[in-house]
A and B are shown apart, each in its own frame.
Chain A
Amino acid sequence: MADIAPTAGSQVPPAEVEEVELYHAKSFWTKYIFSQDAKVIAIQYSSTAIGIGLVGLVLSWMMRLQLGFPESFAFIDATDYYQFITIHGMIMVIYLLTALFLGGFGNYLIPLMVGARDMVFPYVNMLSYWVYLGAVALLVASFFVPGGPTGAGWTLYPPQAILPGTPGADAGSGGGIVLMLVSLALFIVGFTMGGLNYVVTVLQARTRGMTLMRLPLSVWGIFVATVLALLAFPALFVGAVMMLLDRLLGTSFFMPTIVQAGQQLAYGGGSPILFQHLFWFFGHPEVYIVALPAFGIVSDLISVHARRHIFGYRMMVWAIVIIGGLSFIVWAHHMYVSGMNPWFGFFFATTTLIIAVPTALKVYNWTLTLWRANINLTLPMLFALAFLVTFVNGGITGLFLGNVVVDVPLSDTMFVVAHFHMVMGVAPILVVFGAVYHWYPLMTGRMLHEGMGQFHFWTTFLGAYTIFLPIHYLGLLGVPRRYFEMGETGFIPASAQDLNAFITVVALLVGVAQIVFFVNVFWSMKHGKLAGKNPWKAASLEWQTPEVPPGHGNFGKELPLVYRWAYDYGVPGAPDDFIAQNVPGTASEGAHRT
């Protein structure tokens, strides 16, 4: 049993909740490698996700080199190009963003923010990370098998994904697609282990007084995203298993009758569209699996750094829940050109546009939180504001693409690439950076360097727009996505190639500029300004720990008691301009609130 009683010595009666069986590490290996402490697991998840994310970044450079300067690089042929785009997409969506938001931020923030000592099933939580690492290792291994990784596109559509001719699927050397599918299945198993922890910890391990409606919005975002992931990832698992069997055993779940090079293949009768439905039943909630934690985190960043309570907290919670629910009935808007029944398109266009309502509501609430607030343009706030603008940009192009008649001509053009990079690439990554600048002092006890941070922010923010705004224009010109090279076309002006070259140069520069961020992270660990306790004067529980960085068990001898929500900023009559969640209310305070 735990040797730290949750409420030992407290004035209130002992909580009638189970104690977390805190595992006390006895060696370096169990403390830092096979650790069961959620904070260590968070850092392991984050490091691995960012490490593989950097591989994804380099792959995007390779793509950009080809697009910007075709036929200039001997080391990029069509096969390589398709492998680069496939693995880039897969890494960024699943192995970086999902793992970082849920495995990284989820593990670090949930126990600290809800007032728990750790996740409820620490051993399973540890296993979750190691299974994830195994999935990443398999993905990387696919670069080293004969034929290399799959080049089927990140959507892995059958039949081409498993047929010879597609990179990573050639007869005799096509281990790439097999490793990809096994890696995805493994990722899902690992995530499920972690996801159970996040959900049960939020539901059952909150400290006394931490009602659901006193949870910080970061926790709400991560919680609902985890529920989505637990319900959506099985669809990808089903698709991956069935495709694996199509490839390895010659079944025809998804494989139709195919004549290849004059020869009829053994496959027959399968339904490629079935895979598309399964894939997008996972794929669209996946957008919100990434977006909802970002929504939650950005709400907290805005509130803390504008010294103002979040506007419409209840609406914000309900919007997260409603967006989560709606995300399961919009998936086929990714399939308008698949030949499905037009009534289907009508239905999915309607649900897609409806989802804009709670989403817009969140944007209004963020804006109203900022209205007449004491906005401090700190680095986390800059990134939060950048997110706001970027998310609106990406969201608006989503309204274009949600309509069937607009989507059909724009489908498979660079416009789609620009849209999803803005809305689920740039926007969430801006939140990740903002969150790192915000919580780094808690994790290390030191501040990140302001100058390096400012340089990093402005190059990343302006750079991302310089890259992706022109890509919208290319899409409107009709430049198709996924093409290795364009050759001669009658409808795309030659200047489009100049624009592509410009975008490539900027992409390389913005990518290289990220080095400043990493230098800052490592340099500041030793040389950063000492942060002290709660440098941002934040009200939520993670900043109220007795030690900074928080020690094993998070809260010392006694768990904190929660008396209020996490957004008491600028309270009239309060001694400071905020009141932490663990400070009891006073009689005079009540009068100000009515």
Chain B
Amino acid sequence: MNLFQELTTKPWLDPTGPGKEPEEAVSLALPRSTVGLRVFLVVVTVLFALFIVSYSDRMLLSDWRAMPEPWLLWPNTLILVLASASLHWATVSARRGRLDEMKTSLVTGGAFSLAFLAGQLFAWQALVAGGYYAASNPANAFFYVLTALHGLHLIGGVGAIGLTFAKLRRGAKVEDVAQAVDLCAVYWHFLFVVWLVVFGLLLFT
């Protein structure tokens, strides 16, 4: 029964039984943690969407001066692609039951993510050195806010990789962490898409 059909039933008419047994009552055929992550991603999407709406509103005012994007953002984007690919590799390894490969790809994904964060900090440093302070112009301020917010979400993800890896070090088997690895990969792909949107916004406005 789909959701709409379910919401149109008349519960007062159909007590179950006799001879019938209550059916399972799960709304989505997904593990709970997957549903939890998806709900969280919706919240994060709303958060970034509201920042982007604010950005669009603020840029209409006369004092807006578009800021040149540091070239470092391009290699950083590539690094984030590699991080996302590594996490994908980790899920494939988990599905095939290859523990060592999974560990390697998790470490690689984490390392690429840290490299991305370091790259973002270098980009900040370059901008500050060029006199693009947050207080100088709202375009600069939005750049720092959006990249910081994205970076903070990535740091949270690195923490999740760390926890998964710690589980593996305590002797967990591939199947024990496969779902966690899968969720990490989804999260990384999501953050990569968010970065593309943010970078695109900064680039084209």
Segment of B28-36, B105-113, B115-123, B180-188 in the binding face: B28-36
Q: Considering only CB atoms, which chain B residue lies closest to A588 in the complex?
A: B18
Asked if A271 lies at the interface with its beta carbon under 8 angstroms from chain B, I say yes
B47 CB-CB contact with A under 8 Å: yes
Task: Give the Cβ gap from B124 to chain A, nearest Cβ, in Å.
Answer: 13
- B24 near A313 with CB under 8 A, answer no
State whether A203 and B43 are in contact (beta carbons under 8 Å apart), knowing that A213-B6, A245-B145, A269-B61 are contacts in the complex: no
Please tell me if the beta carbons of A274 and B58 are within 8 angstroms of each other in the complex. yes
List chain B residues, Cβ under 8 A from A206: 25-26
Contact with A along B1-31 (1 / 0, CB 8 A): 0010011111111111110011111111011
A208 near B23: Cβ-Cβ < 8 Å: yes
Q: Does B18 lie within 8 Å of A269, measured CB to CB?
A: no
The answer, yes or no, to whether B50 is at the interface (CB within 8 Å) is: yes
Instruction: Confirm or deny: A318 has a beta carbon within 8 angstroms of a beta carbon on chain B.
Output: yes
Residues of A within 8 A of B10 (CB): 213, 314
A221 to chain B, nearest CB (A): 15
User: Among the listed stretches B69-77, B83-91, B133-141, B191-199, which one makes contact with chain A, having 4 or more residues with CB under 8 Å of it?
Assistant: B133-141
Taken residue by residue from 548 to 576, chain A's Cβ proximity to chain B (1 for < 8 Å, 0 otherwise) reads as 00000000000001111101100000000
Minimal beta-carbon separation of A312 from chain B (angstroms): 10
Where chain B touches its partner, the secondary structure class is: loop
**A463 in the interface (beta carbon within 8 A):** no
Task: Report B157 CB to chain A, min CB distance, Å.
Answer: 16
| Total A residues in contact with B, Cβ cutoff 8 Å | 69
Closest residue of chain A to B47 (Cβ to Cβ) is A234
Count B interface residues, CB 8 Å: 48
Tell me whether A120 is interfacial, beta carbon within 8 Å: yes
Given the known A-B contacts A213-B11, A313-B12, are A231 and B43 also in contact in the complex, defined by CB atoms under 8 Å? yes
Task: Indicate if the CB atoms of B26 and A563 lie closer than 8 Å.
Answer: no
Is the pair B134, A245 in contact by a Cβ cutoff of 8 Å?
A: yes
Q: Is the CB of B39 within 8 A of A196?
A: yes
- Give the nearest-CB partner of B51 in chain A: A238
**What chain B residues lie within 8 Å of A245 (beta carbons)?**
134, 141, 145
Chain A interface, >50% SS class: loop
Find the A residue at minimum CB distance from B142: A253
Find out whether the CB atom of A593 lies under 8 angstroms from the CB atom of B13. Answer: yes
CB pair B13–A594 under 8 Å, yes or no, is: yes
B6→A212 contact, CB < 8 A: yes
Could you say which residues of chain A place their CB within 8 Å of the CB of B31?
Answer: 18
- Rounded to whole angstroms, the CA-CA distance of A559 and B148 in the bound complex is 45
B46 pairs with A234, CB closer than 8 A = yes
Cβ–Cβ contact A593 & B12, under 8 A: yes
- Which of A15, A210, A268, A274 is B54 in contact with, Cβ under 8 Å? A274
Interface string of B128-171 (1 = CB under 8 A from A): 00000011001001000100000000000000000000000000
Known: A211-B9, A213-B9. Is A203-B35 also a contact (CB below 8 A)?
Answer: yes
Contacts of A251 in B (CB 8 A): 134-135, 138, 141
Q: Name the B residues within 8 Å of A271 (CB-CB).
A: 57-58, 61
Q: Is the CB of B25 within 8 A of A561?
A: no
Pair B15/A266 contact, Cβ less than 8 Å: no
A17 near B47: Cβ-Cβ < 8 Å: no
Chain A 574-587 interface mask (CB, 8 Å, partner B; 1/0): 00000100001111
Q: Which residues of A lie under 8 Å from residue B33 when comparing CB positions?
A: 121
Known A-B contacts A213-B11, A563-B17; the reply to A278 vs B54 at CB < 8 A is yes
In the complex, A200→B13 CA distance in Å? 28
Residues from chain B with a CB closer than 8 A to the CB of A593 are 12-13, 15
Bound state CA distance, A561 and B42, in angstroms?
32
Given contacts A208-B25, A238-B54, A249-B141, contact A200 B16 (CB under 8 A): no
Chain B residues near A563 (CB-CB < 8 A): 15-17, 22
Instruction: Given A252-B63, A563-B15, A586-B18, answer yes or no on A204-B6 (Cβ-Cβ < 8 Å).
Output: no
Residues of A within 8 A of B9 (CB): 211, 213
A17 adjacent to B35 (CB under 8 Å): no
Q: Is A48 at the interface (CB under 8 A from chain B)?
A: no
A94 at the interface (CB under 8 A from B): no
Query: What distance in Å separates the Cβ of B62 from its nearest Cβ neighbour in chain A?
Result: 7
B9 to chain A, nearest CB (A): 5
* 14 examples of A-B residue contacts, CB within 8 angstroms: A121-B36, A210-B25, A211-B25, A212-B7, A213-B11, A241-B145, A245-B134, A251-B134, A314-B11, A317-B7, A568-B12, A585-B17, A586-B17, A589-B15
Chain B positions within 8 Å of A, measured between CB atoms, are 3, 6-18, 21-28, 30-33, 35-36, 39-40, 42-43, 46-47, 50-51, 54, 57-58, 61-64, 134-135, 138, 141, 145
Interface set of A (CB-CB < 8 Å, partner B): 11-12, 15-18, 120-121, 192, 195-196, 199-200, 203-214, 230-231, 234-235, 237-238, 241-242, 245, 249-253, 266, 268-271, 274, 277-278, 281, 309, 313-314, 317-318, 561-565, 567-568, 579, 584-587, 589-590, 593-594
- Interface contacts beyond A252-B63, A253-B138, A584-B15: sample of 7 additional A-B pairs, CB < 8 Å, sorted by A: A195-B43, A199-B39, A203-B26, A206-B26, A209-B25, A309-B12, A562-B22
